[in-house]
Chains A and B, each alone.
Chain A
Amino acid sequence: MNSAVTPARRQLHPPPVPASPFPYHPGSLLSASDLTLDGLSHILARATALESADPLLRDRILAKRRVALLFYESSTRTRTSFELAAKGLGADTTLVSSLSSSIEKGESLKDTGLTLRALGAEAIILRHNSSGAAWLLEAETRLPVLNAGDGMHEHPTQALLDLRTILAHLRPGTETLTPETLAGVTITIVGDITHSRVARSNMLLLPRLGARVLLCGPRELLPDVAAMVGPGITIERDFNEALHQSQAVMMLRIQAERLAGLQLDLEQYKANYQLTGPRLAAHAPTALVMHPGPIIRGLEVTSGVADGLQSVILEQVKNGVAIRMAVVERALTASEQGGRA
């Protein structure tokens, strides 16, 4: 502590911070922290119901409703699963991507959103390279907005599908979520935490169900302040030690596109943080191995681990469709039901 800094000598009562007006629309899903535990339970239940429903009946739920997918970044899993989810419920979807639209000509996010609304879009699914873009779009359009990933910030549907995957293995049969549902469960998130919206959404979501979240990675990709994002988050830089405590481990890709000049010694990284068969066998022989994708085989995980018996990576992908059906349904029916799901 700098001795020249004057200690507070009186009780200051500075201006309060105003309450957040978000989300404006009860059908929006901007952050993993927007949902109550009841809301989460409802989404998980609807995911299960919609997944097993007769496709010919299911597609009447949102028949001819209009959903726009607005993608400023490339995506395979998220885009396809949102599209399949919306179409599976009977909705018409349209995809606007930054490389084949007026976005290339300099149209702003606000104007693009207003244009989609004027074209009849009733909800917008947004993937954007800037943190906070989903909040801007919701404020400007007042439509239900589903955040499909905003910059380095959040990816709430990924956290929901991760939760569904974890529950299926560790707490099968759970219907109602409580603050103790995942009590005693430790989940380690490994790698490029700084640039990961998946990590942030999971860090906000899992501790609310009683899980302990360990963050693991080098300082360049995981600063100490990460532990201050919310309760229940601890940093453990020793990967083996973290694995030893974990029932699930989420491996993250190093996001080369967001490193902004940061130089990493990849060989060093692999030595410390790559999930290999021997490491897994030695320290977490029963833990679930998860990855939000895309995987860079041979970097954060070896092929053997990605395809191994403990891997639930493709199950996560599959759960993505079910979860996204539930949140698209919620987006287009929340206001009709009057109130937030």
Chain B
Amino acid sequence: MTALLIRGGHLIDPAAGVDALKDILLKDGRVAEIAGPGKLKSANGAEVLDATGLTVAPGLIDMHVHLREPGQGYKETIASGTAAAAAGGFTAVAAMPNTVPVNDSPETTRWMLAPERGAVIRVFPIAAATRGSKGEAINDYAALKSAGAVAVTDDGNPILKDNVMRETLIAAARVGLCVIQHAEDTRLTQGASMNAGAMAFKLGLRGMATEAESGLVERDIRLVTELRDTRVHLHVAHTSTAAALAAVRQARRSGLRVTCEVTPHHFLLTEEHVGLYNTNAKMNPPLRSAFDRDAMIEAILDGVVDAIATDHAPHAVHEKEVEFENAPNGITGLETALGLCVRWLHKEWKMPLGRVLSLLSAQPAALLNLKGRGTLTVGSFADVVVFDPKAEWVYNARETKSKSRNTPFDGWTMQGKVRWTISEGRIAYSRPA
């Protein structure tokens, strides 16, 4: 493999505490050497990427995406989804198991990881916690882990039964996997298609109460508390309510291993963005009130939030061009996450760029225990994003590399433009200068 020399860039590696001008040599899929500008010795023969004026950082890691394969290749394939991820600066994504069939077996997990899928960056499957994600019978986590699964979840079919969730937490802890819960008490949200409240009432839509999320988070935390096992790791997916965040905050104070992620749409948008039935503003959990949205921003700035994840959920155009209550939940997010995070968290709300990048790389890598990723120390995987942190640009959904373009961020101004995405030493995405 050719060596790559990234020269003249500003390296930000939050996990290693680096924030300085550095040249980086990538060799054989790993970081081979890092030195001050012009000081690298063994760079002879390396392909040179001129990163002058650009930021060089660990490749972004999205711990919550839906790649739709197997089974729904018309929405997305592993090839198209990872191409969109690379365009967004991501070098690793964790793929949710709500595929067709549900990824509840080592065979499906291995199928997703096969080279024939055409992934241009690393895919880390998250396996179903229970057989068919039906919330009844626990899967064989040891077998799933050895096939490549990095966590377990029933995602959109949250585990409601206390005893099943308890067993899941115990079994996952035993093999060192984290349990990710989409916290929604689905007994309370039947037929609902947006956040409960005045807006839903006005639009004549049934609403999902915030308690349906926070109640299940509180239940899960109670189970973790009762287990008294420090290996148990509960991760709350796409947190959207102030009350759920408060529960996570409290659990952490009690020393529990309870972590959470927030999506860009939940810290930027509110139920008002549903407007007059914009199905590209329909997802689950739904866009909430300004009160909840502001709580997401505060919790990110406060450090309560462990990761930014996109919940990239592609759907075909015809599936979204329907009555609001009949439209599927979800929006795409891989190509807009960095641009939105830099534009809003960094520029608007003054979060240091290193902390923003940490939420998008080092922290999710730690949550999923992805060794050698989320940092660019010597010997780490050569997963790198090189981007212009100052460049403003407008997102055009029609130019997406995803198969779908169901995004509420079409036409939005972004800040931070990806120049190169490098996955294990190979250029996975390159934007013409």
Contacts and interface: CB of A to CB of B under 8 A. Distances in A.
The answer to whether A binds B is yes
Interface of A: 2, 4-6, 8-10, 12-15, 17-18, 20, 22, 108-110, 128, 130-133, 135-136, 140, 150-154, 194, 197, 200, 223, 225-226, 228-230, 260-261
Nearest to B267: A14
A62 B186 CA distance: 51
Question: What secondary structure prevails in chain B residues at the interface with A?
Answer: helix
A128 B325 CA distance: 12
A9 B297 CA distance: 11
Interface of B: 190-191, 197-198, 201-206, 242-243, 245-247, 249-250, 268-270, 272-273, 275-277, 290, 293-295, 297-299, 302, 318, 321-326, 344, 348-349, 412
A271 B384 CA distance: 71
B277 A136 contact: yes
B243 A17 contact: no
A9 B298 CA distance: 8
B293 A22 contact: no
B322 A136 contact: yes
B254 to A, nearest CB: 12
B204 A136 contact: no
Given A6-B298, A9-B298, A15 B202 contact: no
Contact of B242 (A2, A133, A194, A230): A2
Contact of B277 (A135, A226, A228): A135
B297 A14 contact: yes
A110 B204 CA distance: 21
Contacts of B344: 14-15
Given A5-B242, A8-B294, A140 B270 contact: no
A199 B184 CA distance: 31
Contacts of B190: 260-261
A226 B197 CA distance: 9
13 contacts: A2-B242, A5-B243, A17-B270, A17-B273, A109-B323, A130-B324, A132-B205, A132-B325, A133-B323, A153-B205, A228-B198, A260-B191, A261-B190
A136 B232 CA distance: 47
A207 B157 CA distance: 43
B246 A131 contact: no
A225 B197 contact: yes
Contacts of B293: 14
Contact of B204 (A6, A140, A152): A152
Nearest to A203: B202
B268 A14 contact: yes
B321 A108 contact: yes
A154 B204 contact: yes
Nearest to A151: B204
